[in-house]
């Protein structure tokens, strides 16, 4: 028995493969929870089905039992799907209840289920091995191994029009109790399994094995199956199944056929069917080597080995070819032209000399094979070969003598082979002696010095070539021998100056050579460097003085003993002439002054008649000739005499044709200028932005010095802005000119400075400069009335007071007021401005002087004073005494009489704010004033109920303080401290006394917003009023107009003062 593979896939799409072991007679598979189960079985492998409770039992043809546990639900329906699959076909098995209570196992084509296709995981491509032949359970015949025409499962086409094929029957007693079941009910619809049948391979024996075509028909029907005229007749069994076996004489020849089936039912009805396609191929593929199996001579040499060993031949198109040489296999496929080839790359096969065999196995697609083989030889070992380069002419170097009598080259190889020897284009063939040595002699090798390449080569019988190369040295001449270097300088004559140093001769020769030089019996061995350059020096003592010519020879011997000689003439002349210089007569007395320099200076002396004399004075050289008497002279112009005071060198130099020279040196004094004249930086004011010297008001008022330096003994006169002073000079040449207080007039200008100097020799010089004079601030003003009217009230002070004006550009400005100083901002045009913060002003009344001080770029200062009136004390809050009602409104309101202006605004029911026209009536006795409301015509009028009032006192400085009056007869008792109607007023008091049951809720932010004058508000009212100040802290009491008020703080800055009769919620 064989193991049976199966796959279980869950409803989530995950699959698990397993197998029913061959040695298990009973095997249980969990079939609940909506799974898909596919068994690798054909229909013919299943003997029948049995239901046992919730389990489905499947009885196989070999007697084993597979139990699908939990397959049936309580209502008898399948809880999972069951499939059988083999040979790439998949059929679903369903259980159908018959009319008489029987349950049939039905096979049909698989439908898609959910989002997965069962064909992805549930199909088995191999056949099943369950059905067994009578011979024994391990002897599976072709009938069970796939030669029976495939899976035996009938798909949609395999069952014709029936659509279903029964393979088993179940009986359901209604209770799901299980038990044995009646025989399978037959199917009357004829059908044939039309699964294609393919037969081939080396193991197929038509005499002992065969294949079957099966199907179903009415029991007892006669079935005739025809394949290419060969007919097999069989009868349908009691279960309706039939099978026609083709074997022995009925086994068809190789070919492709379409089987036909004719079924005759017991009642005589004939049903023709199309059977499966049958393909038979049991013939081995044709296979042969090419005309040359491996090489043309069946011999692989080293070159062929390195090119890759190719094996080729012919065969059946598409057949697989496997070649094997020395255990190394290659695989290829026969091409469309019927040829094939493989290549064994270098290194795959062993090298050396050996005989081997190539074996080729050809396999076609049906498993038929053909094997062929052929022998060949491998020879990859060439002859050894060597050249004895180091022993050519004894040392591997061929010199001139050795080259003259022929050069012999020797080496070794295999005895008896022919060796070709090549050197410098000359070639000889020699036969290797029995001892493995060979020798070749070459005449006429090219002379010179070079490396010659020797090549020796041979080829063995296998065609393996061997070659070796060596190099020997050819040296038959002295190479690169030369002598360079001039004796006696550029003219080739050794003069007196050159004689003490001797001379050096240089040159080149072949590296490793020696060089010897000789002159007048003196010999010097040259020093030869590694690169062949050489040098040899004759000292002055080795060269005789006088005037003469001598021959200098140089002889070199190279490493090979070659000799070469070079020579040249050396001229010697060490005699020189006479020379004098009259230095004391230059300028008449050895000194050149300004006038002498201007007129030109003559320098004189003597030399050999006709001699050239080079005269140099202070670095300027003249060339002149001695006359026939030996006198020479030259004149230096004023431009060639360096002005000033110094002692330059003067010299005369003469040189003969041989370069022998004589010189005379002296010095001369030159004084043509005033020494040490200078003007110090002016020690004046340095307050300017660029750091330059400026005479400002302070410097001009105090007086100042101008200093410098000059040659001791000189006189100095200094003129500044038309004022002249003679300077005082100390013993070191420092001079000072003092200018007194007030000598330099004030103003703004550039003044000229002139310094005139006369030195002790009467030479004059002048220095000029300019000095800036700036003694005042040229502009300082304050522009416009401060805060528009030169009055600063509380509101103006609160947001800072801006003061500005004009000043000299580059100046700084400071404003002093209120006991503080404020630095102004000054732009490039001189516009200045300063902002005095409100915190610096405070509460006050009265005039304040603002002192504005400017300092210009030169350090001059100026100040102006501006007086402003300051009134930052706000008036008292209006104190409301009462009001007068008339009809449905209010006719007037009464306040304590105030010296300030009083204005009254109405907040109507919609929240709009309107200023009221009023007529004031003062009662001096009571100290009260009635304000009667007027209409546009000036007549008395009333404002309606629901109105609220804002009463404001404003002093002459514009400071204002307001009282917010809440009246009765309003539509609400809630007082809105954050109302937009209060914007623009400085509410210092909220008066709830004239309203009923007022409720005021106020926050820190609202207190701050009520007035710009302060962060405090006073609330007046009575016991019927309530003020809510959440988060406030009680901080004591205070008395206002004889009444007690409670003080509360709210947040960081806000304060609320509440009449102690009011109810307060915190």
Q: pLDDT tens digit string along 559-568?
A: 877 788 999 9
| Per-residue pLDDT band at 168 (split at 50, 70, 90) | very low
Q: What is the rounded distance in angstroms from the CA atom of residue 623 to the CA atom of residue 614?
A: 4
In this prediction, residue 509 carries a pLDDT of 94
Parallel/antiparallel/unpaired status of strands 999-1001 and 1043-1050: unpaired
Ramachandran quadrant class, 785 (left: phi over 0; alpha: psi -120 to 50; beta: rest): beta
Parallel/antiparallel/unpaired status of strands 1026-1028 and 1063-1065: parallel
pLDDT above 70 coverage of the chain, percent: 89
What are the C-alpha distances in Å from 815 to residues 342, 358, 788, 845? 108, 117, 19, 20
Pick the residue with more confidence: 815 or 181?
A: 815
In this prediction, residue 129 carries a pLDDT of 52
In this prediction, residue 560 carries a pLDDT of 76
Length reported for the chain = 1066
**Contact partners, residue 533, CB within 8 Å, separation at least 6:** 506, 507, 508
Q: Is it the case that residue 134 has pLDDT exceeding 60?
A: no
612 C-beta neighbours (distance < 10 Å), count = 15
For the chain, report the end-to-end CA distance as a whole number of angstroms.
Answer: 99
Residue with tokens 């089905």: 49
Structural domains for the chain: 4-185 (no CATH), 287-379 (2.60.40.10), 385-475 (2.60.40.10), 482-573 (2.60.40.10), 579-671 (2.60.40.10), 678-771 (2.60.40.10), 780-871 (2.60.40.10), 880-1065 (no CATH)
Cα-based angle 383, 388, 392 (whole degrees, multiple of 5): 145
Residue with tokens 């007690």: 1044
158-172, 715-729, 934-948: least confidently modelled range: 158-172
In this prediction, residue 685 carries a pLDDT of 52
In this prediction, residue 692 carries a pLDDT of 60
Q: Is the separation of the CB atoms in 932 and 961 below 8 Å? A: no
| Per-residue pLDDT band at 961 (split at 50, 70, 90) | very high
Burial grade of 1016 (CB within 10 A; 0-12, 13-18, 19 or more): middle
- Which three-class secondary structure string do you get for 315-369? ECCCCEEEEEECCEEEEEECCCCCEEEEEECCCCCCCCEEEEEEEEEEECCCCCE
In this prediction, residue 121 carries a pLDDT of 62
Pick the residue with more confidence: 201 or 802?
A: 802
152-156, 227-231, 339-343, 463-467: least confidently modelled range: 152-156
Q: Is it the case that residue 131 has pLDDT exceeding 80?
A: no
- Phi, then psi, of 586 in degrees rounded to 5: -70, 125
pLDDT above 90 coverage of the chain, percent: 57
The DSSP code sequence of 461-499 is TT--EEEEEEEEEEE-S--S-EEE--SSGGGTEE-TTTG
880 C-beta neighbours (distance < 10 Å), count = 19
**Arithmetic mean of pLDDT, 585-600:** 83
Q: Give 542's DSSP letter.
A: G
Q: What is the rounded distance in angstroms from the CA atom of residue 672 to the CA atom of residue 419?
A: 99
- Phi, then psi, of 821 in degrees rounded to 5: -115, 140
Q: Is the separation of the CB atoms in 671 and 746 below 8 Å? A: no
With CA atoms as reference, report the closest residue to 30 among 77, 75, 80, 65.
80
Pick the residue with more confidence: 177 or 848?
A: 848
For residue range 780-789, what is the model confidence (pLDDT) as tens digits?
999 999 989 9
**Arithmetic mean of pLDDT, 372-376:** 93
Q: Is the separation of the CB atoms in 176 and 72 below 8 Å? A: yes
In this prediction, residue 104 carries a pLDDT of 63
**Arithmetic mean of pLDDT, 143-156:** 29
Q: What is the rounded distance in angstroms from the CA atom of residue 906 to the CA atom of residue 922?
A: 21
The DSSP code sequence of 696-759 is -HHHHHH-EEEEEE--TT-EEEEEETTEEEEPEE-TTSEEEEEE-TT-SPPSEEEEEEEEEEE-
Q: Is it the case that residue 470 has pLDDT exceeding 60?
A: yes
Q: What is the rounded distance in angstroms from the CA atom of residue 268 to the CA atom of residue 429?
A: 101
Mean pLDDT of the residues in the chain: 86
In this prediction, residue 166 carries a pLDDT of 32
Q: What is the rounded distance in angstroms from the CA atom of residue 167 to the CA atom of residue 615?
A: 142
In this prediction, residue 117 carries a pLDDT of 46
Residue with tokens 């191929």: 281
Q: Is the separation of the CB atoms in 894 and 994 below 8 Å? A: no
In this prediction, residue 1037 carries a pLDDT of 95
For residue range 10-30, what is the model confidence (pLDDT) as tens digits?
877 778 889 999 888 889 998
**Arithmetic mean of pLDDT, 501-511:** 93
Extract the tokens encoding 484: 């360079």
Q: What is the rounded distance in angstroms from the CA atom of residue 712 to the CA atom of residue 729?
A: 8
For residue range 868-886, what is the model confidence (pLDDT) as tens digits?
999 888 898 899 988 898 8
Distance of CA 919 to the CA centre of its chain: 85
For residue range 440-467, what is the model confidence (pLDDT) as tens digits?
999 989 988 899 999 999 998 888 999 9
Residue with tokens 């004239």: 994
- Phi, then psi, of 1061 in degrees rounded to 5: -80, -20
The DSSP code sequence of 8-37 is EE-TTS-EEEEEE-TT-SEEEEE--SS-EE
- Phi, then psi, of 450 in degrees rounded to 5: -165, 170
Q: Is it the case that residue 112 has pLDDT exceeding 80?
A: no
| Per-residue pLDDT band at 180 (split at 50, 70, 90) | very low
727 C-beta neighbours (distance < 10 Å), count = 21
323-327, 612-616, 850-854, 955-959: least confidently modelled range: 955-959
Three-class secondary structure of residue 541 per DSSP: helix
**Arithmetic mean of pLDDT, 656-667:** 84
Q: What is the rounded distance in angstroms from the CA atom of residue 938 to the CA atom of residue 916?
A: 11
Q: What is the rounded distance in angstroms from the CA atom of residue 612 to the CA atom of residue 152?
A: 135
**Contact partners, residue 864, CB within 8 Å, separation at least 6:** 780, 781, 782, 851, 852
Q: Is the separation of the CB atoms in 700 and 649 below 8 Å? A: no
| Per-residue pLDDT band at 1049 (split at 50, 70, 90) | very high
- Phi, then psi, of 1060 in degrees rounded to 5: -70, -5
For residue range 598-642, what is the model confidence (pLDDT) as tens digits?
889 999 999 988 889 999 999 999 999 999 999 999 999 999 999
Extract the tokens encoding 1026: 């309530």
Extract the tokens encoding 681: 């930086």
Question: Beta-strand (E) ranges in 31-77?
Answer: 36-39, 46-52, 55-60, 65-69
For residue range 318-349, what is the model confidence (pLDDT) as tens digits?
999 999 999 999 999 999 999 999 999 999 99
Q: Give 900's DSSP letter.
A: S
Distance of CA 452 to the CA centre of its chain: 58
In this prediction, residue 681 carries a pLDDT of 67
Q: Is it the case that residue 136 has pLDDT exceeding 60?
A: no
Q: Is it the case that residue 993 has pLDDT exceeding 70?
A: yes
Q: Is it the case that residue 890 has pLDDT exceeding 70?
A: yes
For residue range 252-307, what is the model confidence (pLDDT) as tens digits?
999 999 999 999 999 999 999 999 999 999 899 999 998 776 767 789 999 889 99
| Per-residue pLDDT band at 182 (split at 50, 70, 90) | very low
**Contact partners, residue 109, CB within 8 Å, separation at least 6:** 91, 92, 155, 156
Q: Is the separation of the CB atoms in 56 and 68 below 8 Å? A: yes
Q: What is the rounded distance in angstroms from the CA atom of residue 202 to the CA atom of residue 200?
A: 7
Q: Is the separation of the CB atoms in 672 and 593 below 8 Å? A: yes
In this prediction, residue 869 carries a pLDDT of 92
| Per-residue pLDDT band at 594 (split at 50, 70, 90) | confident
Q: Is it the case that residue 61 has pLDDT exceeding 90?
A: no
Q: Is it the case that residue 1043 has pLDDT exceeding 60?
A: yes
What are the C-alpha distances in Å from 582 to residues 505, 576, 624, 654, 655? 42, 21, 15, 15, 19
């Amino acid at each position: 028995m064989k193991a049976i593979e199966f796959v279980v896939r869950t409803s989530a799409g995950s699959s698990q493969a397993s197998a029913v072991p061959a040695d298990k007679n009973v095997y249980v598979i969990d079939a609940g929870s909506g799974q898909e189960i596919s068994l690798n079985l054909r229909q013919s492998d299943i003997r029948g089905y049995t239901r046992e409770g919730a389990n489905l039992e499947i009885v196989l043809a070999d007697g084993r039992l597979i139990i699908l546990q939990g397959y049936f639900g309580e209502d008898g329906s399948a809880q999972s799907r069951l499939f059988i699959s083999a040979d790439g076909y998949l059929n679903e098995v369903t259980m159908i209840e018959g009319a008489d209570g029987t349950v049939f196992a039905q096979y049909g084509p698989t439908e898609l289920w959910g989002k997965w296709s069962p064909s992805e995981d549930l199909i088995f491509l191999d056949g099943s091995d369950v059905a067994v032949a009578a011979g024994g359970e391990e002897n599976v015949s072709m009938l069970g191994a796939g030669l029976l025409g495939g899976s035996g499962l009938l798909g949609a086409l395999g069952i014709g029009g029936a659509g279903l094929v029964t393979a088993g029957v179940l009986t359901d007693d209604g209770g799901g109790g299980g038990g044995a079941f009646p025989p399978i009910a037959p199917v009357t619809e004829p059908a044939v399994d039309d699964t294609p049948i393919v037969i081939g391979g080396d193991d197929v024996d038509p005499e002992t094995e065969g294949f079957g075509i099966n199907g179903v028909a009415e029991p007892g029907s006669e079935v005739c199956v025809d394949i290419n005229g060969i007919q097999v007749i069989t009868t349908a069994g009691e279960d309706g199944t039939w099978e026609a076996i083709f074997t022995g004489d009925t086994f068809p020849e190789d070919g492709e056929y379409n089987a036909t089936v004719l079924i005759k039912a017991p009642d005589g009805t004939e049903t023709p069917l199309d059977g499966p396609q049958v393909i038979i191929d049991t013939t081995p593929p044709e296979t042969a080597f090419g005309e040359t199996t491996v090489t043309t001579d069946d011999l692989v040499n080293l070159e062929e080995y390195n090119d890759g060993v190719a094996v080729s031949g012919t065969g059946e198109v598409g057949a697989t070819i496997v070649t094997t040489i020395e255990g190394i296999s290659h695989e290829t496929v026969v091409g469309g032209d019927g040829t094939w080839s493989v290549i064994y790359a270098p290194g795959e096969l062993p090298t050396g000399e050996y005989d081997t065999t190539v074996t080729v196995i050809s396999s076609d697609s049906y498993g038929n094979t053909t094997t062929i083989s052929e022998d060949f030889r491998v020879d990859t070992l060439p002859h050894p070969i060597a050249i004895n380069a180091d022993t050519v002419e004894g040392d591997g170097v061929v010199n001139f003598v050795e080259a003259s009598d022929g050069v012999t080259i020797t080496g070794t190889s295999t005895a008896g082979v022919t060796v070709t020897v090549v050197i410098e284009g000359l070639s000889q063939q020699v036969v290797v002696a029995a001892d493995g040595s060979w020798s070749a002699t070459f005449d006429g090798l090219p002379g010179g010095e070079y490396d010659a390449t020797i090549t020796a080569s041979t080829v063995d019988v296998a065609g393996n070539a061997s070659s070796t190369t060596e190099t020997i040295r050819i040296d038959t001449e002295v190479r690169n021998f030369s002598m360079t270097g001039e004796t006696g300088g550029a003219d080739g004559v050794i003069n007196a100056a050159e004689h003490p140093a001797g001379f050096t001769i240089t040159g080149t020769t072949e590296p490793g050579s020696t060089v010897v030089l000789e002159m007048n019996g003196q010999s010097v061995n040259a020093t030869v460097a590694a690169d062949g350059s050489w040098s040899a020096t004759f000292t002055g003592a080795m060269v005789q003085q006088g005037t003469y010519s001598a021959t200098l020879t140089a002889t070199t011997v190279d490493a090979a003993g070659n000799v070469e000689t070079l020579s040249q003439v050396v001229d010697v002349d060490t005699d020189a002439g006479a020379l004098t210089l009259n230095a004391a007569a230059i300028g008449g007395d050895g000194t050149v002054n300004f006038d002498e320099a201007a007129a030109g200076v003559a320098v004189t002396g003597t030399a050999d008649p006709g001699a050239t004399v080079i005269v140099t004075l202070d670095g300027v050289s003249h060339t002149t000739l001695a006359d026939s008497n030996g006198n020479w002279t030259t004149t230096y112009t004023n431009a060639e005499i360096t002005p000033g005071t110094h002692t330059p060198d003067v010299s005369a130099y003469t040189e003969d044709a041989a370069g022998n020279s004589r010189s005379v040196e002296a010095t001369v004094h030159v004084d043509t200028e005033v020494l040490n004249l200078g003007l110090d930086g002016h020690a004046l004011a340095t307050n300017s932005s660029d750091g330059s010297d400026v005479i400002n008001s302070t410097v001009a008022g105090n007086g100042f010095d101008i200093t410098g330096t000059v040659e001791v003994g000189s006189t100095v006169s200094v003129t500044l802005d038309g004022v002249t002073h003679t300077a005082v000079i100390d013993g070191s040449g420092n001079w000072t000119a003092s200018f007194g207080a007030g000598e330099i007039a004030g103003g703004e200008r550039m003044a000229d400075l002139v310094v005139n100097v006369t030195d002790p020799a009467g030479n004059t010089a002048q220095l000029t400069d300019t000095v800036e004079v700036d003694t005042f601030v040229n502009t300082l003003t304050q522009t416009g009335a401060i805060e528009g009217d030169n009055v600063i009230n509380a509101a103006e002070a609160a947001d800072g007071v801006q003061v500005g004006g004009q000043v000299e550009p580059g100046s700084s400005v400071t404003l002093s007021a209120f006991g503080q100083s404020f630095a102004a901002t000054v732009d490039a045009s001189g516009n200045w401005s300063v902002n005095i913060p409100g915190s610096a002003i405070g509460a006050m009344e009265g005039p304040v002087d603002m002192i504005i001080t400017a300092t210009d770029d030169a350090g001059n200062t100026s100040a102006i004073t501006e007086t402003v009136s300051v009134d930052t004390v706000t008036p008292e809050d209006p104190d409301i005494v009462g009001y007068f009602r008339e009809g449905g409104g209010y006719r007037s309101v009464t306040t304590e009489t105030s010296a300030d202006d009083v204005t009254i605004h109405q907040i109507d029911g919609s929240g709009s704010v309107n200023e009221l026209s009023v007529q004031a009536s003062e009662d001096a006795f009571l100290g009260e004033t009635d304000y009667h409301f007027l209409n546009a015509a000036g007549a008395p009028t009333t404002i309606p109920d629901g109105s609220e009032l804002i009463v404001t006192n404003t002093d002459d400085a514009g400071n204002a303080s307001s009282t917010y009056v809440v009246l009765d007869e309003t539509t609400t008792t809630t007082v809105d401290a954050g109302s937009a109607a209060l914007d623009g007023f400085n509410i210092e008091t909220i008066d709830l006394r004239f309203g009923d049951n007022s409720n005021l809720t106020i926050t820190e932010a609202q207190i701050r917003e009520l007035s710009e004058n302060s962060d405090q508000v006073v609330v007046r009212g009575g016991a019927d009023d309530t003020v809510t100040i959440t988060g406030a802290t009680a901080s004591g009491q205070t008395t206002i107009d004889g009444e007690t008020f409670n003080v509360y703080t709210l947040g960081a800055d806000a304060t609320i003062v509440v009449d102690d009769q009011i109810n307060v919620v915190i």
